[in-house]
A and B are shown apart, each in its own frame.
Chain A
Amino acid sequence: MEPHIVKSFDEALNTLHAQVSRMGILAEHQLGLSVQALVDRNDELAAQIVQSDAEIDALEAAANDQVIRVLALRAPVADDLRVVITALKIASTLERIADYAANIAKRSIVLTAMPAVPTVRPLQRLGKLVQGLLADALTAYHEGNTELALQVWTRDKEVDEQYSGLFRELLTYMMEDSRNITPCSHLLFVAKNIERIGDHATNIAEMAYFLATGGAIEGARPKNDTTLIHD
């Protein structure tokens, strides 16, 4: 797209974009590290992750301020308006993602104090899958790549499948040995957090699609979470 005649308008939008980009890099990194801390039983790393959450919170606050400023001073329309609205929504989504990562790190510290349970590997696989989806969603956002956005959106069902499998596996451990109940409950929350991050990644993909086209992705999203079905 051509630059605006008023250069400071472009600068204001670039600032907003840089803030959201930085948040994206940090949130994706936090997710990867939190699963790593859990797998490696690394308390030091986990503590670092909890601490770094403040930086993302501060970036979100700055992005909010920037959005309010641009709306008030520039009255953006058409694609400019979409740039501002999607930045606002993605910043808030990334802040939530970072919160989930920090929560995983906190649970990792609790889990390290207990005997190890054998389910961390499938959790690591789920973490990698979701991290990949988040990275793709952010790439789709930065590049205006609607094809990639659609891919992320449809691939969320893989996350749901893996999550459902993990859910059943953890239940089995708990039934086998009641001493597993406490650590497995924490791991269940960890799995749920990662699954929620996957949902947020699809929200970012939806925003990326809206930014590029001005429209919403058509149709209902495929879901494969079977943990809500009683059998």
Chain B
Amino acid sequence: MSWPKILDRHQSLWFLITGPTLWALHFCTVYAMTAIYCEKLGDEAGPLRLGILGVTLGALVLIGITAWLSWRQWDYTDDWDYEHDGLTVEDRREFIGHAGFLLCVVSVIGVIYVALPAAFVGSCV
């Protein structure tokens, strides 16, 4: 069976933005959890912080998987190609992998940054 083109990560731009999309989902989830918990369930944030830890670990695992797939697609150790400025299919494939990998790195930093306040702040007030 052949995959529809849109699901082929070698030529689909959607895989380029998987990392930051996961960042966005993590951000929205954490924001919504906090907004609802602090308004409805009280000021002591213990369970909320555990929840945020869980969501964060989940997001990091998913971004990690994406990063690994992008790294394989970039295939850096194969030919040490870094620029991808040629006209071949390989250049395009490795470019999407490379850019996707870099975006995963930013997304990991973003997710950790966003979760850090929950490591230090113990209450909603």
Q: Do A and B come from one complex?
A: no
- Which residues of A approach B to under 8 Å, CB–CB? none
